[in-house]
């Protein structure tokens, strides 16, 4: 059912039929802003031009078990967000927020996930997350200055409410509030990351880094995660160098092997009439030709086997490094893989080997069928 009407302040004025599910809540064609109902909140947010109006709309909402959502002509109960709201308010109560009453910012960030999120709605959710993350917030004339302090360092970023921001921090926020016993610790780690990177745009790998740092703190390890990252990078460079040398060795061996074939073919064909070259090349069945073909096949196989062994050794070294960093230094597996890649043989090398090996094998057997 299409709903016709407009918002007047925080109320909704119907200009058409009123849904049956709302008939008991509407007074004189007007649905007042209710603490226990979310009604067309996306439309309100999309049309809102000032953040203060959003605060007026949401400040009376009670994000508890009584809260319902109007959707598809029905009123449905949604999750109880009361514990999250308490955590959210506990943090912003410790933050320095100027220009906005803290008591009016009692909101659930997670409840935004219930909406069909437009870019505007996502941007509004982001602002509430930044209020949570920032040590200091200055709000004036629809503009924000968000500041984060970590020790003696500080990072700040200016936002305007009309801006549509193209990044999200909900996954970071969800991780911070995942356990109320250590919210402050997780928040401190994220703040340090933001100050260190000098941006609020945290990526998935940044969240992995935060998780690894948190694991180290929980395990009562020394607080030197970022120093260990540099060591991990050094191990990565060493492993990459080993892999590079393996490929370099393979290239040199292939070059020598290929040169041997060229010299053999040249020796076989240099005194032959030009009209017999291709026939002699592909169909000669002398013992010398058979012997050299077998030698070339065995040499090629040996080169490939040695290369695979080197790559296998690199893989074993990778497994040892991964086990050390994930089991002893408590890195997240995903965080580790962001810095160090698994040594693998590139597919083109495998394809080229089997093509050459197959051609040599066919050449070896071809005269038998002619």
Q: Report how far Cα 207 is from the mean position of its chain's Cα atoms.
A: 8
User: Running DSSP on this structure, what letter comes out for residue 331?
Assistant: -
Each residue's pLDDT tens digit, 324-336: 666 655 566 676 6
Each residue's pLDDT tens digit, 293-302: 777 778 778 8
Average pLDDT over residues 160-174: 86
List, in sequence order, the alpha helices (H) in 70-182: 82-94, 119-133, 170-176
Each residue's pLDDT tens digit, 238-281: 666 666 676 677 666 766 766 676 666 556 555 555 555 445 55
Examine the pLDDT at 358 and tell me if it is beyond 80.
yes
Task: Report the C-alpha gap between 63 and 38 in whole angstroms.
Answer: 10
Question: What pLDDT score does 331 carry?
Answer: 62
**Lowest mean pLDDT, pick from 90-94, 184-188, 318-322:** 318-322
pTM above the 0.85 mark? Answer: no
Q: Report how far Cα 314 is from the mean position of its chain's Cα atoms.
A: 26
Question: What pLDDT score does 315 carry?
Answer: 80
**Lowest mean pLDDT, pick from 24-38, 66-80, 147-161, 251-265:** 251-265
Task: Report the C-alpha gap between 248 and 255 in whole angstroms.
Answer: 11
């Amino acid at each position: 059912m299409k709903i016709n009407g407009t918002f007047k302040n925080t109320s909704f004025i119907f200009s058409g039929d009123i849904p049956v599910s709302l008939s008991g809540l509407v007074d004189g064609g007007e649905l007042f802003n209710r603490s226990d109902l979310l009604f067309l909140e996306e439309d309100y947010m999309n049309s809102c031009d000032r953040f203060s109006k959003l605060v007026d709309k949401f400040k009376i909402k009670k994000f508890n078990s009584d809260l319902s959502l109007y959707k598809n002509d029905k009123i449905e109960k949604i999750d109880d967000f009361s514990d999250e709201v308490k955590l959210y308010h506990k943090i912003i109560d410790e933050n320095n927020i100027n220009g906005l009453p803290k008591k009016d910012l009692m909101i659930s960030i997670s409840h935004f996930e219930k909406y069909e999120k437009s870019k505007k709605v996502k941007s509004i959710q982001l602002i509430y997350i930044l209020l949570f993350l920032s040590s200091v917030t200055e709000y004036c004339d629809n503009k924000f200055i968000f500041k984060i302090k970590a020790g003696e360092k500080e990072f700040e970023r200016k936002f305007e409410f009309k801006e549509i921001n193209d990044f999200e921090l909900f996954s970071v926020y969800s991780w911070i509030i995942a356990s109320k016993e250590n919210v402050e610790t997780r928040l401190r780690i994220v703040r340090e990351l933001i100050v260190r990177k000098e941006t609020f745009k945290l990526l998935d790998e940044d969240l992995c880094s935060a998780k690894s740092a948190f694991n180290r703190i929980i395990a009562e390890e020394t607080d030197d995660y970022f120093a260990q990252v540099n060591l991990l990078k050094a191990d990565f460079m060493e492993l990459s160098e080993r892999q590079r040398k393996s490929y370099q060795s393979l290239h040199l061996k292939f070059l020598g092997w290929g040169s041997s074939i060229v010299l053999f073919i040249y020796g076989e064909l240099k005194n032959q009439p030009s009209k017999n070259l291709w026939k002699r090349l592909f169909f000669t069945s002398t013992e010398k030709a058979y012997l050299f073909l077998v030698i070339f096949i065995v040499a090629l196989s040996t080169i490939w086997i040695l290369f695979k062994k080197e790559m296998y050794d690199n893989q074993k070294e990778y497994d040892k490094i991964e086990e050390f960093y994930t089991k002893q230094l408590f890195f997240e597996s995903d965080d580790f893989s962001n810095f160090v890649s698994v040594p693998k043989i590139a597919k083109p090398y495998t394809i080229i080997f089997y093509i050459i090996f197959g051609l040599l094998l066919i050449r070896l057997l071809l005269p038998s069928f002619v």
